[in-house]
Chains A and B, each alone.
Chain A
Amino acid sequence: MTTTVSASGLSLRYGATRALDDVSLRLTPGVTGLLGPNGAGKTTLLRVLATAVPADGGAFTVLGQDPGTAAGRQEVRRRLGYLPQTPGFHPDFTAFEFVDYVAILKELTDRGARHREVRRVLDQVDLSEVRGKRIRKLSGGMRQRVALAAALVGDPGFLVLDEPTVGLDPEQRMRFRELIAQAGEGRTVLLSTHQTEDVAMLCHRVLVMAGGAIRFDGTPAELTARAAGRVWNSTGRDPGAKAGWRTGTGSFRNVGNPPEGADLAEPTLEDGYLLTLDDAGVRAGVAA
């Protein structure tokens, strides 16, 4: 399969903090999820791959270009779509103007073609009806879709999405899932999120980060499989569990190393994620 992004030994320090610690990865077309607790280095990794900040060490290529050189960086930016965490907007702009503005900054210079492209991506994110509305008058979900349209404009080969569903209600999140799935057809999408169900439903691959390093790199099924035999139900919180919580049925769901004869339960991707963090020495348990 084509490798879109290839990184080896990426590192970055902010003072005494090691934000990225020898990160190596390869990304291929499709949606790759990036999970990790706050401060794990997800946004830093995304910003490095999006050429927003340079790494201290290591090397990487995006779509065959080396962002370490000025020319390579420009080429990467030409083919990159980036939706930052809590994106900013120009509230006085209409949705069309904002995406058009981004399209110009992406050097889409044929005016007619650019406007067609802006209409296409607004249509793709289902905002055709409100494209003439000022952004300040759009709902939070609509604004997020404007940001996604801005990331999609110009048909980028590599799409970086940093927690795009934060703050959205379930219906909006569902709609966003559709859009991201659609965006992942034929291009490489790196999706940073705290929503494990998004990863479970969207991603063909998942990375788990903690402490600036990649702690897991595999398929969602493989991450889920990490919790096989390590999730059980009990009538009370098992003191030996890494994490445990009372469920709606009144029983407790425990994650960790089950006692003998435990009533094992079907693991989820979230269980695998929690155990991966725990294995990495990151406290991520949930108390009842």
Chain B
Amino acid sequence: MSAVLEEAPVTERTAHSGGATSATLDLALFEARRLLTRIPMLLAFAAYVAWIVWRTPKFEDGFPALQNADRATQSGPLLVGLAVMLCANHAVLRSQRHDTERHFGVLVLTPGRRTAAHVLSVVPAVLLVAVGVAGQFGWEALRPGAVGTGSVAELLVGPLLVLLFGAVGVLLARLIPSGFAVPMAIVLFFFLFFAGAVPTGTGERGTRWLAPVVGEMSSGAIPSDLMDRPAAWHALYLLGLGLTVGLLAVVAGGGRGWALKGAVAAALALAVTGGVAQTSGLPAKTVVARAAATNNPEKQQTCVNRDGSTYCSFPEWQPRTATWASVVRHVQSLAGGRAHTQPVLVRQRIYATDGLYSDGAIDPSANPYQVTVGTGWGGNRVPEFSAAVSSVLVAGSEKATGGMCDGRMVTAMWLALSWQPDPMRSLRDVRLDDSVTGSAIVLSPTDPLQMTAGQTDVVRELLAKPQQSVAAKVKAHWAELTAPKVTSARVAELLGVAAPKEADKCD
């Protein structure tokens, strides 16, 4: 014998405890769960995570400036944003597609609130992207070589983009009830972008800030207080735009009332305020500060002494001076004569006049034994700095290295590269054309150097020999090896390798 217990139906009192707002939130949660499990969303999030995992370790060669790392989080969420736009649009059109509106139209929750729920349903995707952004930035910030300061406003751009794109998807569904609207909108957006109709502007500020993501031409870094990107205004602009579009979708979905109209007006005010403020001109004090940092960096820098040499950097780069000192130590340990103990001044120099909008060349210093270092580090920057140190030790100053067309180039390059973990790879990295044969330009923080094919051959041969045996000869013949006009053939002879087939080219 068995007893059947029938459950009591939900009564008015318990069922409708929260009212319309609570139901709207419940529906938003329901829609959010579905949104996050759509295939385009899963693919977009997988691609986004893969992009973070692939890109983060490589960013700025593992020595990120956090004022650049924050901005680097902004392009990945675009893909998620497009997926959210597509899926939110699809979800709004679901009722029409399956003809459930006749039924749902007589249910309690109004179409306006249902639209609001669709807009709110993108919030978890926004939060997930925020987690992704935080993870990506946090990963960068925790790297041992990280320097500088990130901006919360820059970090907000990615999540706000997703909010904006999701709201656009919902609004499009309410205005154009067709599944083709979003794909067409995406195609149109890219068409306009490539046709140049999307604002790109002609200056550092201006209309280019009306675009959702505002990148920079320069790949370098400058101190965060000199950047002066209107990131907070841009975040406000995106937030205002996202809210405006979302609220307009609610209006288009049938939402009415003074509160809604007021919210639309407030959101629009946010968008306009942010939009106008971000496009205004660069403050005069920033222009002055940038000029000072470019022309007289010493006034903004702090210096430390390591092993007798002095290392001056903008405050945010102070942690990196130990790394620079390590390079100087390596090069000097292989050098002979006075250069072995010569104190050098390593000064960080930047071209900050145009902010990050464009790059400019840094003139070589005429000061004796002063070496320029930039803001980047890791990867090719290490052999480049090493080449700058060795050539200054050989020639006496950066200015003097410009005339180093003779056999000194061989000594300088061997000093720069022989201590590296993989000297041949460093030789390739430091040359503009990534070659290890023939003539090539050698990159440096200031003016580049020039290696002839013959000098390259001699350097390559020297790098293949045991370091200590070459070092002993370098120290023994230091004066002759670093004498102006010494030929590469003579250098080769002194260091015990075959002479180059062609003579040095000193015009």
Q: Decide if B102 touches A117 in the complex (CB within 8 Å).
A: no
Q: Decide if B10 touches A154 in the complex (CB within 8 Å).
A: yes
Please pick, from A77, A91, A105, A154, the residue contacting B15 in the complex, using a CB distance under 8 A: A154
Q: Please, what's the 1-or-0 string for A98-137, where 1 marks a CB less than 8 Å from any CB in chain B?
A: 0011101111111101101101100100000000000000
Stretch at the interface among B21-29, B230-238, B354-362: B21-29
Chain B's interface size range is 20 to 34
Q: Decide if B23 touches A109 in the complex (CB within 8 Å).
A: yes
Min CB distance, A160 to chain B, in Å? 9
- Judged by a CB distance under 8 angstroms, whether A155 is at the interface is yes
Q: Please measure, in the bound complex, the distance between the C-alpha atom of A98 and the C-alpha atom of B9, giving whole angstroms.
A: 18
Instruction: Report chain B residues within 8 Å CB of A82.
Output: 103, 106
Please pick, from B9, B30, B100, B109, the residue contacting A107 in the complex, using a CB distance under 8 A: B109
Chain A's interface size range is 35 or more
Q: Please measure, in the bound complex, the distance between the C-alpha atom of A76 and the C-alpha atom of B61, giving whole angstroms.
A: 66
Q: Decide if A120 touches B7 in the complex (CB within 8 Å).
A: yes
Please pick, from B9, B17, B27, B99, the residue contacting A105 in the complex, using a CB distance under 8 A: B27
Instruction: Report chain A residues within 8 Å CB of B103.
Output: 82-84, 87-88, 102, 147, 150
Q: Please measure, in the bound complex, the distance between the C-alpha atom of A211 and the C-alpha atom of B12, giving whole angstroms.
A: 38
Q: Please measure, in the bound complex, the distance between the C-alpha atom of A153 and the C-alpha atom of B114, giving whole angstroms.
A: 19
Please pick, from B12, B20, B106, the residue contacting A51 in the complex, using a CB distance under 8 A: B106
Known interface pairs A78-B16, A117-B15; A90-B100 also in contact (CB < 8 Å): yes
Known interface pairs A90-B98, A101-B30; A106-B108 also in contact (CB < 8 Å): yes
Q: Please measure, in the bound complex, the distance between the C-alpha atom of A52 and the C-alpha atom of B106, giving whole angstroms.
A: 5
- Judged by a CB distance under 8 angstroms, whether B58 is at the interface is no
Min CB distance, A275 to chain B, in Å? 33
Q: Please measure, in the bound complex, the distance between the C-alpha atom of A119 and the C-alpha atom of B114, giving whole angstroms.
A: 24
Q: Please measure, in the bound complex, the distance between the C-alpha atom of A111 and the C-alpha atom of B20, giving whole angstroms.
A: 14
Instruction: Report chain B residues within 8 Å CB of A45.
Output: none
Q: Decide if B10 touches A109 in the complex (CB within 8 Å).
A: no
Q: Please measure, in the bound complex, the distance between the C-alpha atom of A153 and the C-alpha atom of B10, giving whole angstroms.
A: 8
Q: Decide if B98 touches A114 in the complex (CB within 8 Å).
A: no
Question: Mind listing 23 A-B residue pairs with CB under 8 Å?
Answer: A52-B105, A82-B103, A83-B103, A87-B102, A87-B103, A88-B99, A90-B98, A102-B107, A106-B15, A106-B109, A107-B22, A107-B109, A108-B16, A109-B26, A110-B14, A110-B17, A116-B10, A119-B7, A120-B10, A123-B7, A154-B10, A155-B9, A155-B15
Q: Which residues of B contact A (CB under 8 A)?
A: 7, 9-12, 14-20, 22-23, 26-27, 30, 94-95, 98-109, 114
Q: Which residues of A contact B (CB under 8 A)?
A: 50-52, 74, 77-80, 82-84, 87-91, 97, 100-102, 104-111, 113-114, 116-117, 119-120, 123, 147, 150, 153-155
> Nearest 3 pairs between A and B by C-beta?
A109-B18, A155-B9, A88-B99
